[in-house]
Amino acid sequence: MADVAEAAGVAVSTVSRALRGRPGVSSAQREQILRVADELSYSVSASASRLAGGRTGAVGVLVPRIDGWFHSTAVAGLQERLHEHGLDLVLYRLQGREERTGFFTRRAFRHRVDALVVVGTTLTPDEEELLAEAGLPVVGISTRPSGRPFADVDDRAGAAGATRHLTNLGHERIAILRSTTLLGTHGAVSHDRYAGFCGAMAERGLDVPEAYVVSAPWGLEGGAQAMAELLSAATPPTAVFAESDEVAIGALRTLRRSNVEVGRTMSVIGFDDHQLAELLDLSTVAQPVHEQGRTGGDLVVEALEHGRVAEPERVLPTRLVVRGTSAGH
Amino acid sequence: MADVAEAAGVAVSTVSRALRGRPGVSSAQREQILRVADELSYSVSASASRLAGGRTGAVGVLVPRIDGWFHSTAVAGLQERLHEHGLDLVLYRLQGREERTGFFTRRAFRHRVDALVVVGTTLTPDEEELLAEAGLPVVGISTRPSGRPFADVDDRAGAAGATRHLTNLGHERIAILRSTTLLGTHGAVSHDRYAGFCGAMAERGLDVPEAYVVSAPWGLEGGAQAMAELLSAATPPTAVFAESDEVAIGALRTLRRSNVEVGRTMSVIGFDDHQLAELLDLSTVAQPVHEQGRTGGDLVVEALEHGRVAEPERVLPTRLVVRGTSAGH
DNA sequence: GTGAAAGCGCTAACAC
DNA sequence: GTGTTAGCGCTTTCAC
């Protein structure tokens, strides 16, 4: 910065003001300084800036995992927006109980990022409190940290829509495949989708016997296994709502191997509109993942620039996508 | 740090030494200091540390995209190792020509990370030179920056293996589906796999007519389209080697829709062992993606800790996975 | 509108 | 083995 100041014939403080867009610099100076800085391909040191009370220009992203369709797509959308605003993205993975507590108690992120974005995992009250102490803006993507801005979909409504689609087709014996997280519990998303399912069933006065609610670890294998369990029931269902497409795809595999005709003997609907859903002709509830990421980016940028967010609760629409795996009964 | 020093009754320099594991502190002191720091849940300011000539404790990761199976899986493996060594991961996306040049000329990463990892994209000589000027350690994952350590597979050998598998099954008319990147060119991986294919064909004295070499944009759609082109050839091939599984899966879709019996009329083999390959019973060449990420992490850690890497060229093995889509002719 | 100067929290000499 | 101290490159009062 000293170099730029010298080249522009001004003091470093003026350069700092110009580069940060602060008032107190004549527009002629400002323009010239920006030009010089560009010629010297100069960029401020994030460390020094942060140390002196400024910004790091980076946002921390908390994900339970980065491989996997949902999280990587959301992060891609987020990254897009952050990049547009010159913000770097620091990736923090929160996997397993210890990694999480370590992260929140150590709070090493305080000195590294200006804000945090939580993607697709529910924070415990303890975790939320520790974050609050750090005093950073926090934004949720596909999760709703209490009192914080978020970008999400209405899982409950989406699940209800999927269920109504099945009941409208004449199905009455409908099962639900629920998923557990790495910690062996049901996440908030699982609860919401389950609630939506139950609500829509109740609307029609349809019963949900215990045997029709199957939980298995999230993923293809879990879905395959859960479906096998359903097929061995005394009276198998005629339709299945899977909490997510990956689970639904696992279920489809079991059905195919069992020679059950999908779309005739058994209807299946998922949730997400995973890239594969189209390929496998799977009916599903589409949610805009990339856009949730982008919207989350908007929220952070707004929080960082204005200190507050005008419209902090962004609920994006889901969309029923009817394909070949769901049909009349 | 001053707080810790006071609480431990020592000078800040001693605390600094203890925390960074440097010599010059009695082990009793060191232990006590670490305990105190832990009690105060203290963590060093990365910014201040960096500014004073230390490390940022972060590694920059350059990916052309983060959604998509390969890159997110490799990043997950890398992240795992970095985390084990207390290193943060800063994600830089390099998409499109301008974004790339901007990144390399601006060099904002200099003040933010201690090293860079390039994942799955080939650097131009210009880019490599700009990186060299920055003076940071650079490591490649699934790419081989000149003169830098890397973790990769032998694409050529893998492709040759896949091709030999087909020729061993009796196929003689074998086509290859090549992919272009977002920039419309063939990447290094594409060239290597093509070379491996040609080599294996030449070994058997088999001809590769021009019509049997089809290029299309990378991805499912590209594969579908390329396969359609092949099917409309005067004499269609009896087997196809697709440069990647995603392309192969696109090809499978076209074959299914055209009622071509896969594994009988037409054999297909891919490359990668994508999660879906198993589901779709696709023969392929498996490459250890997660492990390439982890190995890349090892390389960075070694470069950062010892200044140099003992064994800088890590070529991990590929493995032929024969499934239902490839069969005798 | 602009410049000078005091730190921000650390590391790395350098003394002891 | 330990303490003292001079910066690292910025931002931000505070004078002018």
Is residue A246 within 8 A of residue A218, CB to CB? The reply is yes
For the cut 90, the answer to whether the pLDDT of residue A190 exceeds it is: yes
Cβ contact B111–A253 (<8 Å): no
Confidence at residue B35, expressed as pLDDT on a 0 to 100 scale? 94
**pLDDT tens readout for residues B144-164:** 999 999 999 999 999 999 999
Residue A12 CB closer than 7 angstroms to strand C? yes
B33 with B91, same domain: the answer is no
B277 with B172, same domain: the answer is yes
Question: The tokens of A201 are what?
Answer: 């069933």
Mean pLDDT of chain B: 94
Confidence at residue B279, expressed as pLDDT on a 0 to 100 scale? 86
Question: The tokens of A213 are what?
Answer: 């609610």
CATH code, domain with A18: 1.10.260.40
Question: The tokens of B257 are what?
Answer: 């829709």
Q: For residue B220, is it within any domain?
A: yes
Please report, rounded to a whole number, the percentage of residues in chain B having pLDDT higher than 70. 100
Report how far residue B2's alpha carbon sits from residue A5's, in angstroms, rounded to the nearest whole number: 33
Tokens 């952070």 belong to residue: A300
Question: What's the mean pLDDT in B202-224?
Answer: 95
Angle at A11 between CA A5 and CA A12, to 5 degrees: 65
Q: For residue B299, is it within any domain?
A: yes
For the cut 90, the answer to whether the pLDDT of residue A3 exceeds it is: yes
**pLDDT tens readout for residues A279-304:** 899 999 999 999 999 999 999 999 99
Question: What's the mean pLDDT in B209-221?
Answer: 95
Report how far residue A5's alpha carbon sits from residue B5's, in angstroms, rounded to the nearest whole number: 37
Residue B9 CB closer than 7 angstroms to strand D? yes
| Selection from B19-23, B105-109, B113-117 with the highest mean pLDDT | B113-117
Q: For residue A129, is it within any domain?
A: yes
Q: For residue B50, is it within any domain?
A: no
Which residues in chain A have their CB less than 8 angstroms from residue B75's CB?
66-67, 91
Confidence at residue B275, expressed as pLDDT on a 0 to 100 scale? 85
Question: What's the mean pLDDT in B43-65?
Answer: 92
Confidence at residue B96, expressed as pLDDT on a 0 to 100 scale? 83
Distance, CA of B226 to chain centre: 25
**pLDDT tens readout for residues A78-88:** 999 999 999 99
Contacts for A7 with CB less than 8 Å, ≥ 6 apart: A36, A39, A40
**pLDDT tens readout for residues A251-284:** 999 999 999 999 999 999 999 999 889 989 999 9
Contacts for A160 with CB less than 8 Å, ≥ 6 apart: A196, A197, A199, A200
A265 with A209, same domain: the answer is yes
Report how far residue B215's alpha carbon sits from residue B213's, in angstroms, rounded to the nearest whole number: 7
**pLDDT tens readout for residues B193-205:** 999 999 999 999 9
Is A135 exposed, middle or buried (CB count within 10 Å of its CB: 0-12, 13-18, 19+)? exposed
Phi-psi region of A68 (alpha: psi -120 to 50; beta: other; left: phi over 0): left
Using the Cβ of B134 and the Cβ atoms of chain A, whether some distance falls under 8 Å is answered with no
B84 with B107, same domain: the answer is yes
Confidence at residue B54, expressed as pLDDT on a 0 to 100 scale? 82
A181 with A191, same domain: the answer is yes
Confidence at residue A106, expressed as pLDDT on a 0 to 100 scale? 85
Mean pLDDT of chain A: 95
Confidence at residue B276, expressed as pLDDT on a 0 to 100 scale? 86
Instruction: Please name the residues between 265 and 294 in chain B that touch chain A, using a CB distance below 8 Å.
Output: 275-276, 279, 290
Give me the residue from B45, B66, B276 closest to A72, CB to CB. B66
pLDDT band at B248 (very low <50, low <70, confident <90, very high): very high
Report how far residue B176's alpha carbon sits from residue B167's, in angstroms, rounded to the nearest whole number: 13
For the stretch A181-189, contacts whose Cβ atoms lie closer than 8 Å and that sit 24 or more positions apart, written own/partner, are A181/A64, A181/A218, A182/A64, A182/A95, A182/A96, A183/A97, A186/A215, A187/A121, A187/A122, A188/A122, A188/A143, A188/A144, A189/A120, A189/A142, A189/A155, A189/A243
Report how far residue B329's alpha carbon sits from residue B320's, in angstroms, rounded to the nearest whole number: 19
Q: For residue A184, is it within any domain?
A: yes
For the cut 90, the answer to whether the pLDDT of residue A192 exceeds it is: yes
For the cut 90, the answer to whether the pLDDT of residue B106 exceeds it is: no
**pLDDT tens readout for residues B69-85:** 999 999 999 999 999 99
Cβ contact B106–A43 (<8 Å): yes
B189 with B248, same domain: the answer is yes
**How many Å apart are B111 CA and C10 C1'?**
15
A132 with A200, same domain: the answer is no
pLDDT band at B115 (very low <50, low <70, confident <90, very high): very high
Distance, CA of B131 to chain centre: 19
CATH code, domain with B144: 3.40.50.2300
What is the count of structural domains for chain A? 3
Report how far residue B42's alpha carbon sits from residue A102's, in angstroms, rounded to the nearest whole number: 12
Q: Which residues span the domain enclosing A122? A: 58-153+289-316
Question: The tokens of A70 are what?
Answer: 């949902």
Instruction: Please name the residues between 78 and 97 in chain A that touch chain B, using a CB distance below 8 Å.
Output: 79-80, 83, 88-93
Instruction: Please name the residues between 41 and 70 in chain B that touch chain A, using a CB distance below 8 Å.
Output: 41, 43-48, 50-51, 56, 58, 65-69
**Which of B156-160, B175-179, B183-187, B214-218 has the weakest average pLDDT?**
B183-187
Confidence at residue A182, expressed as pLDDT on a 0 to 100 scale? 80
Give me the residue from A48, A61, A76 closest to B67, CB to CB. A76
Distance, CA of B154 to chain centre: 13
Residues recorded for chain A = 329
Confidence at residue B230, expressed as pLDDT on a 0 to 100 scale? 97
Report how far residue B246's alpha carbon sits from residue B258's, in angstroms, rounded to the nearest whole number: 19
Tokens 């009622």 belong to residue: B259
Q: For residue B279, is it within any domain?
A: yes
**pLDDT tens readout for residues A16-42:** 999 998 998 999 999 999 999 999 999
Confidence at residue A279, expressed as pLDDT on a 0 to 100 scale? 86
Q: For residue A38, is it within any domain?
A: yes
Confidence at residue B98, expressed as pLDDT on a 0 to 100 scale? 87
Is residue B289 within 8 A of residue B80, CB to CB? The reply is no
Burial letters for A252-290: b for 16+ Cβ neighbours within 10 Å, e otherwise? bbbbeeeebebbeebbbbbbbbbbbbebbebbbbbbbbe
Tokens 């369709």 belong to residue: A69
A261 with A147, same domain: the answer is no
Cβ contact A249–B279 (<8 Å): yes
For the cut 90, the answer to whether the pLDDT of residue A328 exceeds it is: no
What are the φ/ψ torsions at residue B168 (nearest 5 degrees)? -65, -30
A294 with A282, same domain: the answer is no
**How many Å apart are B33 CA and D1 C1'?**
14
For the stretch B307-312, contacts whose Cβ atoms lie closer than 8 Å and that sit 24 or more positions apart, written own/partner, are B309/B149, B312/B148, B312/B149, B312/B150
Confidence at residue B165, expressed as pLDDT on a 0 to 100 scale? 98
Using the Cβ of B253 and the Cβ atoms of chain A, whether some distance falls under 8 Å is answered with yes
Using the Cβ of A34 and the Cβ atoms of chain B, whether some distance falls under 8 Å is answered with no
Nucleotides of D under 7 A from a protein CB: 1-13
A249 with A207, same domain: the answer is yes
For the cut 90, the answer to whether the pLDDT of residue A201 exceeds it is: yes
B167 with B73, same domain: the answer is no
Question: What's the mean pLDDT in A198-224?
Answer: 96
For the cut 90, the answer to whether the pLDDT of residue A54 exceeds it is: no
B95 with B179, same domain: the answer is no
Which residues in chain B have their CB less than 8 angstroms from residue A277's CB?
none
Q: For residue B6, is it within any domain?
A: yes
Confidence at residue B51, expressed as pLDDT on a 0 to 100 scale? 93
